[in-house]
């Protein structure tokens, strides 16, 4: 056996499960198809700056996530960005939310939160899991063999990894692709059905940089407003991303589309005109110069927010060698749900694999 538990996906769900199980003494490996951690907790490196093109901020609702945020605050990984959410309604009137809830961000980019959670883990990058097989060894114990493709250009041929248990911590539609070859022989169609019911909305995100005087014009019109949810057919949200940084070279805005807008352009090869269209809409709703940035980059999320999440915190294939799925779509649509799902999956896997004592109830207390 190469490892006790193989974890597919280094997003928040995968990393939190990995930390919890590693602290209980299991040998854990995290396989990630990209070259970095965080998944949708994503930060784009720019020539002189950075921008968060995935998760924009965190606003904890439950006790456990509040505790993690307090831990990250103490270590200077996150700080309060703003305590007021604004909405631009259909009549273009700006309304502040009546509540005053802190919204937390990472000044080094939201992916810094995921990086912090990797401490001490066996992380394997550019490793896309493309298949799973259940085999029995001489002792007739069942073992998972993961087929892995190296996603680096000119990489060696595919490899495999053997594990006693597997956690798949990726969006449900991608998990279904991995599970389908096991359908009927190892996992019943009835069991896979709930995973098939989970739909994700897409999102197109534009990151755009402007000249210094634009910041003064923004502040002259919108004061200290950092982010605005927009009630518009194309525009979903706009944030002054550069206001999250300790130092920044220029004003950078991040603009998120609605799911309806993203659906129209999901397979468009050249996203530049699509990004321009979004900026034009932002200019019409907010300030005219938003249509003419000094530069822009566009990112397409095929799976951004779960539109129809499951109510359970994790999904189990009910196999002797445990096979579990987790992610934000198990219980919600945000980072907090991904964390809770990863922790619940860890509890379940621990119970299945020997119920080892975990020294601290939550992994960050030992970090
Ligand atoms: C534009 C946008 C804005 C958002 N804003 C917010 C916000 O403000 N607040 C908030 O709380 N949440 C927000 N979210 C949602 C939040 O990002 C997610 O809920 C959370 O990050 C999901 O974490 P996860 O671990 O479940 O999955 P993911 O972050 O999707 O992680 C899955 C990982 O698995 C990897 N992977 C996939 N397939 C394979 C494979 N076959 N082999 C190996 N690796 C694989 C992926 O590369 C990825 O790293 C936003 C999301 C988007 C897209």
Decide whether any atom of ligand 1 lies within 6 Å of the 54 Cβ. Answer: yes
Decide whether any atom of ligand 1 lies within 6 Å of the 203 Cβ. Answer: yes
Q: Where in the chain is the domain with CATH 3.90.660.10?
A: 57-107+200-306
Say whether domain 3-39+116-197+308-366 belongs to CATH 3.50.50.60: yes
For a substitution probing ligand 1, which of 8, 11, 337 has the most ligand atoms within 8 Å of its CB?
11
Q: In ligand 1, which atom is closest to the CA atom of 170?
A: 32
- Fold classification of 57-107+200-306 is Polyamine Oxidase; Chain A, domain 2 (3.90.660)
Read off the pTM: 0.97
Q: How far, in Å, from the CA of 11 to the mean position of ligand 1?
A: 6
What H or E segment, with its residue span, contains residue 264? helix 259-264
Q: In ligand 1, which atom is closest to the CA atom of 301?
A: 53
State the Cα–Cα distance between residues 170 and 233, nearest whole angstrom. Answer: 29
Q: In ligand 1, which atom is closest to the CA atom of 338?
A: 26
Measured CA distances, 308 to 249, 311, 314, 335 (Å): 40, 9, 15, 16
**E strand spans, 112-251:** 122-124, 127-136, 142-150, 159-168, 200-209, 227-230, 235-240
Residue 136, Cβ neighbours under 10 Å: how many? 11
Asked if residues 209 and 250 have their Cβ atoms less than 8 Å apart, the reply is yes
pLDDT at position 140: 63
Among the listed residues 110, 55, 52, 119, the one whose alpha carbon sits nearest the alpha carbon of residue 79: 110
**E strand spans, 281-331:** 295-306, 315-316, 323-325
Per-residue pLDDT of the chain (367 residues; tens, 9 = 90+): 899 999 999 999 999 999 999 999 999 999 999 999 999 999 999 988 999 999 999 999 999 999 999 999 999 999 999 999 999 999 999 999 888 999 999 999 999 999 999 999 999 999 999 999 998 866 667 999 999 999 887 777 789 999 999 999 999 999 999 999 999 899 999 999 999 999 999 999 999 999 999 999 999 999 999 999 999 999 999 999 999 999 988 999 999 999 999 999 999 999 999 999 999 999 999 999 999 999 999 999 999 999 999 999 999 998 989 999 999 999 999 999 999 999 999 999 999 998 887 777 899 999 9
Q: Where in the chain is the domain with CATH 3.50.50.60?
A: 3-39+116-197+308-366
Written as six digits, the tokens of 98 are 């009546």
Q: In ligand 1, which atom is closest to the CA atom of 37?
A: 49
């Amino acid at each position: 056996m190469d490892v006790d538990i193989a974890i597919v996906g280094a997003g928040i769900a995968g990393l939190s499960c990995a930390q919890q199980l590693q602290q209980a003494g299991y040998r854990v490996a995290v396989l990630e198809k990209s070259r970095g951690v965080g998944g949708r907790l994503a930060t784009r490196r720019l020539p002189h700056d950075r921008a968060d093109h995935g998760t924009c901020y965190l606003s904890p609702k439950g006790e456990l996530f509040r505790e993690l945020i307090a831990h990250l605050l103490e270590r200077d990984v996150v700080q309060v960005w703003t305590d007021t959410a604004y909405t631009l309604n259909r009549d273009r009137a700006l309304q502040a939310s009546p509540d005053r809830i802190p919204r937390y961000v990472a000044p080094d980019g939201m992916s810094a939160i995921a990086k912090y959670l990797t401490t001490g883990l066996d992380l394997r990058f550019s490793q896309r899991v493309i298949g799973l097989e259940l085999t029995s060894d001489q002792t007739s114990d069942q073992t998972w063999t993961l087929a892995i493709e190296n996603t680096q250009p000119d990489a060696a041929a595919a490899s495999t990894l053997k594990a006693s248990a597997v956690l798949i911590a990726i969006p449900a539609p991608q998990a279904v692709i991995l599970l389908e070859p096991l359908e009927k022989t190892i996992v019943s169609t009835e069991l896979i059905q709930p995973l098939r019911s989970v739909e994700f909305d897409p999102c197109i995100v534009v990151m755009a940089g402007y000249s210094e005087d634009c910041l003064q014009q923004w502040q002259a019109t919108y004061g200290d407003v950092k982010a605005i949810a927009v009630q518009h057919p194309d525009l979903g949200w706009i944030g002054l991303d550069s206001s999250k940084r300790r130092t920044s070279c220029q004003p950078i805005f991040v603009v998120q589309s609605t799911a309806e807008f993203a659906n129209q352009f999901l397979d468009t090869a050249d996203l530049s005109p699509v990004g321009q269209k979004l900026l034009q809409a932002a200019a019409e709703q907010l300030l005219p110069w938003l249509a003419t940035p000094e530069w822009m980059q566009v990112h397409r999320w095929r799976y951004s927010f779960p539109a129809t999440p499951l109510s359970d915190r994790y999904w189990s294939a009910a196999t002797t060698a445990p096979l579990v799925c987790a992610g934000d779509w198990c219980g919600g649509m945000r980072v907090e749900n991904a964390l809770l799902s990863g922790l619940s999956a860890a509890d379940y896997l621990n119970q299945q694999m020997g119920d080892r004592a975990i020294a601290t109830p939550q992994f960050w207390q030992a970090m």
